[in-house]
A and B are shown apart, each in its own frame.
Chain A
Amino acid sequence: MPLVCWLEDCRKESVPLVGGKCASLGELIHAGVRVPPGFALTTEGFRHFMTESGVASAVSDLLRGVDCSDLEALEGISAQVRSLIESQAFSVEIEDQVAECYRKLSLRCCMPAAPVAVRSSATAEDLPGASFAGQQDTYLWVRGVDEVLHHMRRCISSLYTARAIAYRANKGFSDEQLAISVGVQKMANSYTAGVMFTLHPGNGDRSVIVIDANFGFGESVVSGEVTPDHFVVNKITLDIIDRTISQKLICYTVDTKTQTSHVMDVPFERQKVQSLIDDEITELAWMGKQIEKHYGCPMDIEWAIDKDIPTGGNIFILQARPETVWSKKPQGQGSAAVGSAMDYILSGMLAGRRVS
Chain B
Amino acid sequence: MVVPFLTLILGLPAKVAVGTSLLTVITTSTGAAQEYLKSGRADVRLGIVLELFTTLGALAGGLAALLFSEKSIMVSFGLLLVVLAFQMLRSKEKLDFNHTASGGPYKNWAGGASLSVLAGVLSSVLGVGGGFLKTPAMNLIMKVPLSVALATSNLMIGVTATAGALIYFSRGEVDLPTAAPLVLGTALGAYIGAKTVRRVPTRWLRIAFVFVLSAAAFEMLWEGMK
Is chain B found bound to chain A in the same assembly?
no
Chain A positions within 8 Å of B, measured between CB atoms, are none
Chain B positions within 8 Å of A, measured between CB atoms, are none
